[in-house]
Amino acid sequence: MPRSAKPAPVRFPNRGTPPDATGYPHYARLELANHQLRAAYERLLKERRKARQTLADSAPVPRWNAHKKEVTERLAAAMGLRVVRNAPAPERCFDRSTYVTDAQASIPEAAVSLRLLWYRLSGASWDQSEFELLVLRPHHWPKPRPTVLLIPDAGIGLTGAQSPEAAAREWGLKFAAQGFTVGIPRLPGLERLSSTHNKKRIVEGASALGEVAFEAAQALGALLNMFDRPAPRAFVAGSGFGALTALFLGALDGRVAGVLAESPLAWGGAQEPQQLLIGGAHQLTDLPEITALCAPKPLVFVKNPALRGAAEPADVNTLAKSAAARYRRSGASNACTVFPAAQANEAIEWLGAREKCAQLKPTDAVLRAELPSRRFATWRFTSDKAWRSAAVKLRREYPGAIGIPESAEPLHVLEISRTELPAYSRTEYHLQTGAHTWSNVVMLLPRGLTQPRPTVLHLPGSGSDVAKVEREYAYEIVAQGWNACVIDARAALYPFHPGIAEGRAILPQGLHDLRCATNWVFEQACVDKARVATMGVSQGGTHSWMLTAVEPRICATAPVCGICTYASLDNYVTEWYGGSYGSFFDSHSIYYFPPALLTLAEQQDVCALIAPRPFLFIGATHDNCFPVDGMREAARDIRHVYKLLNAEKNFVYYEFDGPHSMPEHTRKAAYAFFKKVFTQIGRKTN
C-alpha cells in the first residue's frame, strides 16, 4: 500500500453500520479485541494439548486408567451417551434382528466369492426406529475370522451419508477378501447428519456425532450376537467421518477389538464444522488424546491425501506419534502404526495378525443416555409457593447451565465519543466485559435532562448494531421523554467466538455482556433505577427476556419476535412462512442453542422468572424464525405462572399478522405498555 493511501474504513461487524465522519460507531478496538480473543483461545487449546500429552506420555498405568475412566464417562455424557461398565451382553435385544434379502444385485462383482445379506435391526436407532445392516460373508474360509464393523463416511459437505454399497466397494470387499465378516450399517443418524440436526441434539444435551456413535455401537452389538460362535469383540473401521466415529468407539466401547481409521476428520481445534460440535467437549479432550485412549487396542491409520472434503482430515502421523508413549506404557509398543493408502491390503493384514484381541472379554459398552427432561417445566407447578421455590433454584442454576460467569461487573469503561444532536445527546462507550471482550454501548438522552428518567435498554438483533438501532427505533424512545440505551450483542461484534465446544453458546455470552452493561446503567445518575425496561426484535427480543429474567431490577420487558419453544423449531418451514428452510432450526445460527438447556428448562420456563413483573410478549404469525405454535405454547405456559402469582393482568400476549419484523404498530404497543408501567411506578414512589 502506498504511504499516501489511507487504510480502508473499518466496517465491523460485517453487516454493521459504516462509521460516519466522526467515526461513530467505533469498532476498531472491538475488531482488535476479537483477533486477540481468537489468539488467546488458540493458546489455550495448545496449553491443554500440552498438558494432555504430558499425562499420556508419563502417567503411571493406575493414574492413566483413572483418568481414562473419567474422560470417557464425561465425554460420553456430553455426546448424550453412557458407558456401561461390565454389562452382561447389553445388546441381546438384537436377537430380534431380521434377515431381509440377499444383496447380490447390489454389488454383483462380489457375488462369486461372498454372500451378501441385508438384515433389519429393530428399535436400534436413536429414536428407536429400525435400520438396515449389510453383511458380507466369505463363502469358504478355512478358519472363521473376527467381525468388522465398517462405518460409512458422511456425504459431501458433511451432510448425509455414504451408502453401505459404496463403503463396501472402498473397504468392505478388501476386508472380506481376507476372510473377515463385514457389517456395514445404514445409520439413520448419519443420513440426518447436518449442522441443523446437530443444533437439535446440542440443546437436548447430546450431539449428532453421539447419535451416529450410538447407532454404530448398536450395529456392533448386533454383529457380535448375530452368528454362530461369535467373538466377544469386533474390529471397527471407517474413512473420514466414519474413521472419526471409529476412533471415538475405540476409546469408549470395550467391545471394540481394534480400529482401522483412514484419514479421520480433525476434531478439537479452534473452529471445527458445526456438524462435529459436542457441547463442552473441548474442555474434556481432543483427538490426539482420544487416540491415546484407544491403547492398548491395535490401531492402524491409513493416510490418504486424496480423501478431502468439507472438513480437514487429521494428520495421522501426528496422531500416531502422540499415542506412541501411551502404547509403550500399556505394553503394546507395536500396536499403533500408519500405512499409506496404496498399502490398504497390508494395513488389513496388519490388523488381522492381531485378531486374538477379538477374543478378549469386553469390559464395557456404549448405550444411549436417558437425558433428563426439563426439570423446571412451568406446567408442573400448581401453586404460587411451589413456583416461587422453584424460581429461586432456576434463577440460581440458569447462569451456570448456559455458561456465563457469576460476576457481571465491567472491568473497564471508556467514553469514546459525545455528540449533541437536535433532539438528544449521544454518548458512546466501550465496556470491557472480559479479558478480550468489549461491548459497545450508546446512551441517548433527551435534551434538557434535569432529573433521572425512565430508561429503555434497546437490544439489537444478530445482524444489527447500535447505529442501526438508533437510526431505526431508538430515537422514538427518546421522543417519549425517556433515555434510550443501546447495547451491541457479541454475536454481531465477534466473528470468532468459542462457544458450543466450550459448553456455552454465543447467545448467553452476549447475555453476560448485557449484564455487565446493565450494572453500569444502574449506576448512572441520569437513570431512574425503578424504571428500567428492555425491548428488541429477533435476537434483541430473545436477549430482552433473558436479561429481564436474570436481572430482577428491570421493571418490564417487551420482546418482539424473540420467543418460542425449542421443540417447535423442529417443524417444517412452509412457504406460508415466507421461507424456504427445511426446518426452523435452519433459521437460527448455532449461537442460539445453549448445550443441554432442555434438560433444565425451555424458553418459557426461563421467561416465567420475569413474573409477576409486566411482560408484553409480541409475536408474528408468519415469523420464519419463531413458529407461531411455539409462541402460543410459550405464552400459555408463561400465563400459567402469572395466574399462580395472581398477576395475570401483568402478562399480555400480542400477536400480529406479518413476517419476522418489528413494524411501527408493535413499537407503539411497546411504548404504550412501558408508559403505563412507568406511570404506575412513578405514582407509587411519589
- Per-residue pLDDT reduced to its tens digit, 543-559: 999 999 999 999 999 99
C-alpha cell at 247: 476412533
What secondary structure letter does DSSP report for 313? B
pLDDT at 498 over 70: yes
Instruction: Judge if 479 and 628 occupy the same domain.
Output: yes
Instruction: Judge if 274 and 421 occupy the same domain.
Output: no
pLDDT band at 112 (very low <50, low <70, confident <90, very high): low
For cell 490398504, the residue is 344
Instruction: Judge if 432 and 311 occupy the same domain.
Output: no
Q: What predicted TM-score, i.e. pTM, was given to this entire model?
A: 0.93
Q: Give the model's pLDDT for residue 12.
A: 54
Let me know if 419 is exposed, middle or buried by CB neighbors in 10 A (0-12, 13-18, 19+): middle
How many Cα atoms within 13 Å fall on the side-chain side of residue 327?
21
Instruction: Judge if 261 and 386 occupy the same domain.
Output: no
pLDDT band at 110 (very low <50, low <70, confident <90, very high): low
Whether the link from the prior residue into 164 is cis, omega within 30° of 0, is no
- CA dist list (Å): 596 to 279, 396, 428, 606: 8, 16, 36, 14
Residue 54 lies in a domain: no
Q: Could you give the CA distance from residue 71 to residue 574 in angstroms, rounded to a whole number? A: 43
CA torsion, ordered 54, 59, 65, 69, to nearest 10 deg: -30
CA torsion, ordered 556, 561, 566, 569, to nearest 10 deg: 170
Count structural domains, the chain. Answer: 2
Residue 47 lies in a domain: no
Average pLDDT over residues 643-672: 96
Q: What is the pLDDT of residues 372-387, one digit of tens each?
A: 889 999 999 999 999 9
Enclosing domain of residue 476? 378-685
CB 530 within 8 A of CB 591: no
Q: Give the model's pLDDT for residue 492.
A: 66
Instruction: Judge if 408 and 466 occupy the same domain.
Output: yes
C-alpha cell at 221: 452389538
CATH number, domain of 492, equals 3.40.50.1820
Average pLDDT over residues 503-521: 93
Residue 10 lies in a domain: no
Instruction: Judge if 287 and 226 occupy the same domain.
Output: yes
Instruction: Judge if 443 and 582 occupy the same domain.
Output: yes
Q: What is the pLDDT of residues 412-449, one digit of tens each?
A: 999 999 999 999 999 999 999 999 889 999 999 998 87
Average pLDDT over residues 487-507: 83
Measure the CA angle with vertex 59, ends 55 and 64; round to 5°. 90
Q: What is the mean pLDDT of the chain?
A: 90
Instruction: Judge if 415 and 341 occupy the same domain.
Output: no
H or E element: which one contains 539?
Answer: helix 539-550
pLDDT at 188 over 60: yes
**β-sheet bridge partners, residue 609:** none
Residue 633 lies in a domain: yes
Closest by CA position to 256, among listed 265, 266, 247 = 247
Q: Could you give the CA distance from residue 48 to residue 620 in angstroms, rounded to a whole number? A: 46
C-alpha cell at 123: 428399535
Domain-terminating residue out of 309, 334, 363? 363
Closest by CA position to 559, among listed 584, 586, 540 = 540
Residues 6+ positions from 533 with CB-CB distance below 8 Å: 454, 455, 456, 457, 554, 555, 556, 557, 558, 674, 677, 678
Average pLDDT over residues 391-408: 92
Average pLDDT over residues 95-113: 61
pLDDT at 576 over 70: no
* Beta strand segments in 34-192, E: 81-85, 98-102, 114-121, 131-138, 147-151, 181-185
pLDDT at 354 over 90: yes
Instruction: Judge if 213 and 244 occupy the same domain.
Output: yes
Average pLDDT over residues 117-142: 88
Helix H, strand E, coil C: the string for 366-407 is EEECCCCCCCCCHHHCCCHHHHHHHHHHHHHHHHHHCCCCCC
Residue 371 lies in a domain: no
303-332 per-residue burial string, b: 16 or more CB within 10 A, e: under 16? bbeebebebebbebeebbebbbbbbbbbeb
Positive or negative CA dihedral for 461, 463, 465, 471? Answer: negative
Helix H, strand E, coil C: the string for 638-677 is HHHHHHHCCCHHHEEEEEEEEECCCCHHHHHHHHHHHHHH
Q: What is the pLDDT of residues 440-487, one digit of tens each?
A: 999 999 988 778 999 999 999 888 899 999 999 999 999 999 999 999
Residue 130 lies in a domain: yes
Average pLDDT over residues 623-644: 96
Domain-terminating residue out of 363, 397, 424? 363
Instruction: Judge if 412 and 299 occupy the same domain.
Output: no
pLDDT band at 238 (very low <50, low <70, confident <90, very high): very high
pLDDT at 578 over 90: no
Residue 25 lies in a domain: no
CB 369 within 8 A of CB 82: yes
pLDDT at 125 over 50: yes
Taking each continuous run of H as one helix and of E as one strand, the counts in the chain are: 20, 20
Q: Give the model's pLDDT for residue 101.
A: 62
Residue 95 lies in a domain: yes
Tell which phi-psi region holds residue 259, choosing left (phi > 0), alpha (psi between -120 and 50) or beta.
beta
Q: Give the model's pLDDT for residue 104.
A: 60
Lowest mean pLDDT among 15-24, 199-208, 439-448, 621-630: 15-24
Q: Give the model's pLDDT for residue 4.
A: 46
Closest by CA position to 408, among listed 525, 517, 535, 523 = 517
Instruction: Judge if 356 and 388 occupy the same domain.
Output: no
Domain-terminating residue out of 337, 363, 389? 363
Instruction: Judge if 334 and 405 occupy the same domain.
Output: no
Q: Which residue has the higher pLDDT, 88 or 55?
A: 55
Q: Give the model's pLDDT for residue 645.
A: 97
* Beta strand segments in 421-541, E: 424-434, 437-446, 453-459, 483-487, 527-537
